[in-house]
Structure 1
Amino acid sequence: MSGRRGRDKYHTHVEPKLLLIEAWARDGLTEEQTAAKLGVAYSTFRTYKDKYPALLAALKRGQEVADVEVENALFKRAVGYQYDEVTRESEKAIDPETGQIVTVMVETKRVTKEVQPETAAAIFWLKNRRPDKWRDKQEIGHSGSVEVNNPLQGLTTDELKKLIRDG
């Protein structure tokens, strides 16, 4: 009986909200928070993810979109970008269809602004995308041999102790 209730709850509480679930994932809600918003237990929600591919797909799509948006924003901060700042002011105009006076917003000024690259974003990007070249710790290999001239080599423990005592 409980299996039937669970299936019914998926079809009544979850399936109709797949698009909303995708949006919640995009907005950064955890699966626990999503389950709570849907009115199902988190353990049940996890079962639904395994049982219903449409739910898993909605979660993945939402998370993917959010990840891409953040990656794009980080990249823009790392390399700098330009944007247009637009100023609009209200003006009175006559609506051609009704002949009445209406208020409309009219662009009065447009200025292209530039945001300089941000060093921290560039470093973060490079360390994660090109760790072979940008990690803090560089691995340096060595091949061959190292010759060490040790004048104490070959002495016994007793001979070394005598040298220490006699100083």
Structure 2
Amino acid sequence: MARARYPDWLTPEKLLLIQGWKRNGLTDDQVAGNMGISRRTLNTWKAEHKPIFQALKLGREQANFAVENQLFNKAIKGNTTAMIFWLKNNWRDKYNDSALSPEEREMTKARKENVIQDTRIKKLKADVMERLGAESNEQLDLLMDKLVKEADKEHDAEQHTDKQAD
């Protein structure tokens, strides 16, 4: 069998064929097999030759639109599962499984980060106390308080910068 060359696949007819294979649901492995090349070669061609990449992308998008259309039709006709799936994925702010608002989710995330930081600090403090012994506790507490204050200042500055960026 003659070795496939990428220029042979850059003609409009061959690009349409690639697009059609992808639209029909073929995987990249299957498309590569149909082209007479390895998956690795197809990946290289996708990276180096935009028309091949575009044909695969367009075919995949067409397949996604076809499936989306079928799902939508089932939802419209009363298929409860399709309705739920559609709403959860297309109206997330209203139909998500989380009872938390977006703001509450952000606050929960921030609290979680603080707990993780506090846990790390406590572990480090315990390690240092174990190494230094009990007589150094007072000095260690002062040092740790300073470190925590500095970390809090940095965290507050990051939060302030993030809010300004929004």
TM-score, structure 1 normalization:
0.54
- C-alpha displacement of 1:68: 0.9
Aligned residue runs from structure 1 range 70-89, under 5 A: 70-80=67-77
The SS at the match of 2:30 is helix
Q: 2:5 aligns with which of 5, 9, 12?
A: 9
Aligned-partner Cα distance in 1 for 2:31–2:72:
29
Structure 2: gaps (5+ residues): 108-166
Displacement after TM superposition at 1:37 (Å): 1.2
> CA-to-partner distance for each residue in 1:95-151, whole Å, 9 max, x for gaps?
xxxxxxxxxxxxxxxxxxxxxx1111100000111122112221164x9xxxxxxxx
Rounded to whole Å, the distance in 2 between the matches of 1:51 and 1:77 is 40
- 1:132 lines up with 2:102 in the alignment: no
Compare the two structures and name the one with the higher strand fraction: 1
The structure whose residues are more often helix, as a share, is 2
**Which amino acid counterpart does residue 138 of structure 1 have in structure 2?**
A
1:61-100 counterparts in 2 under 5 A?
Answer: 61-80=58-77
Matched, 1:40 2:37: yes
2: CA distance, partners of 1:9 / 1:131: 45
| Larger relative contact order, structure 1 or 2 (CA cutoff 8 Å, min sep 6) | 1
Counterpart of 1:118, as a letter, is N
Runs of 4+ in 1 over 4 A off after TM superposition: none
Matching residue of 1:105: none
RMSD over aligned Cα, in angstroms?
2.2
Aligned partner of 1:36: which letter?
Answer: G
The alignment covers a number of residue pairs equal to: 100
Aligned to 1:50: 47
